Amino acid sequence: MHPIRLTLAAFIGVLLGSAVWAQPGQQREAIVPGFRGILWGTHIDSVIVNGEKAQFIKAEDAPIPRAYRLSGDDLTIGAVELDKLYYVFNNKNRFTKVYMEANKKFLEDMLFILKYKFGPPTDQRDLGHVRLYEWRIDGVNFTLSEFKDRPTFILTIESNWEYVERIRKNVNVPDF
């Protein structure tokens, strides 16, 4: 075989081999377009789930404003059984955030899921009463809060949707 072809074949073999053996979750350039098929920025009246208009129920007990439950929602993420799952909309009724709460016995499972999908946390801080794990993925922030004095942990997924949309609009200006 010609030396250039042999070198090219070896190079392609190394590339294919590394793609096959690459560990999942190490890809930091993940894209998170929404949550459970609901795209960030979708108006509350435009959300379709399983081919039907979503039935959101105002969550009066939620610790954050403009939070809703989804009728018939699955309260699991992998092996994690959620106590609370809220969909949060901004003051223009656009989907921007998810709030989840679960028993601490599922903390390791949730950490595993996040690390597997997105790699190690972008930031990790111990503030005394709470330990924070943060992932910043393509305009979406994941914050896992482990409280020292509570039997539950909280995961929020928050989109910087409005900011990202302004940037996309500004980099695609057709005027000049």
Q: Output DSSP code: residue 44.
A: G
- Residue 35 within a domain: no
Write out pLDDT tens, residues 111-128.
Answer: 999 999 999 999 999 999
Our count of domains for the chain comes to 1
- Residue 4 within a domain: no
pLDDT at 50: 86
- Residue 139 within a domain: yes
Domain that holds residue 55: 40-171
pLDDT at 24: 45
Q: Is the pLDDT reported for residue 99 higher than 90? A: yes
- Residue 34 within a domain: no
- Residue 20 within a domain: no
Sequence-distant (6+) residues with CB within 8 A of 135 are: 114, 118, 119, 121, 122, 141, 142
- Residue 142 within a domain: yes
- Residue 1 within a domain: no
Write out pLDDT tens, residues 83-97.
Answer: 999 999 999 999 999
- Residue 80 within a domain: yes
Write out pLDDT tens, residues 38-53.
Answer: 999 999 999 998 889 9
pLDDT confidence band for 31 (50 / 70 / 90): confident
Distance in angstroms (rounded) separating the CA atoms of residues 130 and 17: 42
